[in-house]
Amino acid sequence: MQVIINLEPFQTSAKHLQELISEITPKSPFGIAKNGTFIPKSAYLETQVQDGDKIEVISPVTGG
């Protein structure tokens, strides 16, 4: 199936978010949102990944 990660298409067979994260290995620290909703770390394992899901992987940046 195909998901969108940070606006880019990504092919995966991951069943849940934890599995997807282990495939993409984001740089720590990071946070995840799925389809516009923040997913806390504690919910990665129970959050299913489905075709067409939009995943945001975010990191600290400078800010004012």
Partner 1 sequence: MNADQNDCLELYGHQFPSRLLLGTSRYPSPAVLESCIQESKPAMVTASLRRQGANPEQISSGFWDILKKLNVPILPNTAGCHRPEEVIQVAHMAREVFETDWIKLELIGDDYTLQPDTLHLVATAERLIKDGFKVLPYCTDDLILCQGLVDVGCQAIMPWAAPIGTGKGPINPYALKLLRERISVPMIIDAGLGLPSHATMVLEWGYDGVLLNTAVALAHNPIKMANAFAGAVKAGREAFLAGAMLEHEQAQASTPNLGIPFWHQS
Distance between CA atoms of 62 and 64, rounded to whole angstroms? 7
The answer to whether residues 59 and 51 touch, using CB atoms and an 8 Å cutoff, is no
Q: Interface residues for partner 1 in 2-61 (CB under 8 A)?
A: 6-7, 26-27, 29-31, 33, 36-38, 40-41, 56-61
Q: Smallest distance, Å, CB 13 to partner 1?
A: 22
Q: Smallest distance, Å, CB 48 to partner 1?
A: 19
Amino acid at 12: T
Q: Which of 10/19 has CB closer to partner 1?
A: 10
**Which 8-state DSSP code applies to residue 26?**
P
Residues 6+ apart with CB under 8 A from 7: none
Binding site for partner 1 (CB under 8 A): 6-7, 26-27, 29-31, 33, 36-38, 40-41, 56-64
